[in-house]
Structure 1
Amino acid sequence: MKLILGDNQFFGINHNDLQKGLQSKTKFGDEVKIEEFIKKSIDLGLDGFMINSNDLGYKLISNYSPMNKEEIHYSIPYPHKYASMVNENGMLSLLKFFISKTSILLLLRTLPKFVITQNVKHLMPLTVNLEIPKSLTKGSTVYLQNIVTDLILGLKRFDLLETFSKEIRRKGYKPGLITLNPLILDSYIKKSKVLNKEDVTICFNINQSGFNVFPNKESVNEFAVSTHKYKLMGMSIFSSGGGDIEKSTKFIKSLKLNYAVFGSSKLVNIQSNINSLSN
């Protein structure tokens, strides 16, 4: 099981303690401090890191210099930045952003298809192009954020997940999907020739306490110990700091996970978790 550094501490996200989240965000105020912390964490023994495509994450990946072939796991899109853009300056600002960040060739390749068919899958190359810095190391895993993955599952537009995966592969990366509904997603993947492959990674909540594990702890546990062609990544493995560390570690080690992702704002905690999960 490979161990990956999560990014919640960088952006002030703490589901159990909002005050701690704000303090953590203040500590990591820019991409330079984030990169320094990532590299120190990898020196301790982590296999890579995961980060989303918000402004800081995008800047980090745009300037990141890999050290020892560490794995990069990058999640897109970051919906809040587009929502803020529209709220602050209107829809026209969003249109201007799309045009300024997209080549004429790509616009000509995608927009006519969308206009003719009204099928949003033809906009997927635009989204991928906007969200992924050209400097992202080839072979990295690029994930669709759970808010988008689960919306697509709810709409039963499974073809969009396949289109996303094809576009990610076309650009030289490995596809990943983050979800809060791993069982529903799994039932579809089993029927898909595009997604049921070794290069796909599914990321989902799983922990000993059942914190934010959907639809329930028991069924997700069974899912996590069964055999899959694609890879499994467990997140929220320490119940966002609300679970017993020793019990949480023992539980995670009992599963058939390819990856476990966790975050902390303290290197001493990261070293402790590496030691516990590796032994």
Structure 2
Amino acid sequence: MSDTTTTRTIDRLLFGDNQFFGVNHMSEEKARAQQIRFQDLDAIMHVLDDAYNEGVTTFMCTTHDRIAEVCDRVSANPDRYPDMRFFPCMPYAHKYANAITDEGLLGAIRRFLPEEGLLDSIARGTSSLARKDIEGITTLLIDAEMKMFANVSTPVIWLQNVVVDLLSGLGFTEAFRIFADHVKTRYGAEPGFITMNLPRTLDELERAGVENPLVCSNINKLGFRMSGGVDSYLDALGKRPFRAVAMSVMASGAIPAREAIEWVCALPNLEAIVFGASSRGNIAATVRLVDEYWQDR
């Protein structure tokens, strides 16, 4: 089935959440310090407020349990966050493993399924298991992940690289179509795909019939965590029909910010940049650099 959805315009700067959950690809010490700092919701909200005040109003986040608290805070204060949008990235595998350990399988199912669709979800899940129907199971899991975002705006929903790259490696491209169709029909959102191997994922999305896809991958001049190398990514950016969202543009700090942003903003086919920061100064500096180098796109 082809994707004929009209292309959405997304903000050119998206704010990520790695810093809130102790993810740093260069420094374990810094990751631990950030994890401790952001144990308190107010600390997370303070940084999100800084980003929002700098005009970065889209939060591209995992479905970590703590994000549910952020959603609740935002939905409870609509006057403070009239333009706040969330781009959920799913699944968050540790969440399921921990829930099953703590609450058992049935407890975990009750915890994650959307209440309004519980009976429908159970019916889908039961029939899916009986028929080995992957589509039913997949949509069931998507709905479980989306439960926490019920009261906030989610115009784009992403499939995480851990799943995208696994499915790509297995050649199970039909799952990409299932994800894309369900995200569009149930949530009125645009599907996005995160990958560590951009050229291969574009091939698989093309086979699945997902046209002009929104794809997020590491894009930086050092080739940091870019499977296949910089040249293959540049070739894809110049020739392939897709919309690129660049992450790790500074290669976790290995490239100076100005150099990194000047380079990535000159690339063709760039839809947006996702970045993380933990201070208003760094957020403001990134905003200024993108304003300087992202000209007439």
TM-score by length of 2: 0.84
Deviation of residue 68 (structure 1)? 4.2
Which residues of 2 match residues 152-163 of structure 1 at below 5 A? 152-163=167-178
Deviation of residue 173 (structure 1)? 1.9
Please name the residue that 2:194 is paired with: 178
Paired residues, what number?
Answer: 272
Which residues of 2 match residues 1-279 of structure 1 at below 5 A? 2-65=12-75, 67-86=81-100, 88-89=101-102, 93-102=104-113, 103-132=117-146, 133-169=148-184, 170-193=186-209, 195-197=210-212, 200-226=213-239, 228=241, 230-256=242-268, 257-279=270-292
Deviation of residue 78 (structure 1)? 0.4
Instruction: From the superposition, tell whether residues 115 and 227 of structure 1 become closer, same or farther in structure 2 (CA, over 3 Å).
Output: closer
- Gapped regions of structure 2 (runs ≥ 5): 1-10, 293-297
**Contact persistence 1:111–1:122 (CA under 8 A):** yes
**Contact persistence 2:88–2:154 (CA under 8 A):** no
Q: Residues 99-152 of structure 1: CA distance to partner in whole angstroms, max 9, x if unpaired?
A: 454344223431243133213221112211211125353452111111011111
Query: Matched residue of 2:23: which SS?
Result: coil
Query: Matched residue of 2:286: which SS?
Result: helix
**Contact persistence 1:138–1:173 (CA under 8 A):** no
Deviates more, 1:20-29 or 1:254-263: 20-29
- Gapped regions of structure 1 (runs ≥ 5): none
Instruction: From the superposition, tell whether residues 47 and 85 of structure 1 become closer, same or farther in structure 2 (CA, over 3 Å).
Output: closer
2-side partners of 1:7 and 1:112: how far apart?
34
**Contact persistence 2:194–2:216 (CA under 8 A):** yes
Q: CA RMSD in A?
A: 2.1
Instruction: From the superposition, tell whether residues 31 and 94 of structure 1 become closer, same or farther in structure 2 (CA, over 3 Å).
Output: farther
Post-superposition, which runs of at least 4 consecutive aligned residues in structure 1 deviate over 6 A? none
Query: Matched residue of 1:196: which SS?
Result: coil
Query: Matched residue of 2:150: which SS?
Result: coil
Deviation of residue 154 (structure 1)? 1.3
**Contact persistence 1:206–1:221 (CA under 8 A):** no
1-side partners of 2:57 and 2:238: how far apart?
22
1-side partners of 2:139 and 2:282: how far apart?
39
Deviates more, 1:43-52 or 1:230-239: 43-52
2-side partners of 1:225 and 1:32: how far apart?
43
**Contact persistence 1:52–1:78 (CA under 8 A):** yes
Deviation of residue 5 (structure 1)? 1.0
Q: Aligned partner of 2:274: which letter?
A: V
**Contact persistence 1:208–1:247 (CA under 8 A):** no
Deviation of residue 62 (structure 1)? 3.8
**Contact persistence 2:176–2:208 (CA under 8 A):** no
Instruction: From the superposition, tell whether residues 139 and 49 of structure 1 become closer, same or farther in structure 2 (CA, over 3 Å).
Output: closer
**Contact persistence 1:62–1:135 (CA under 8 A):** no
- Percent identity reads 24
Deviation of residue 186 (structure 1)? 0.7
Instruction: From the superposition, tell whether residues 224 and 207 of structure 1 become closer, same or farther in structure 2 (CA, over 3 Å).
Output: same
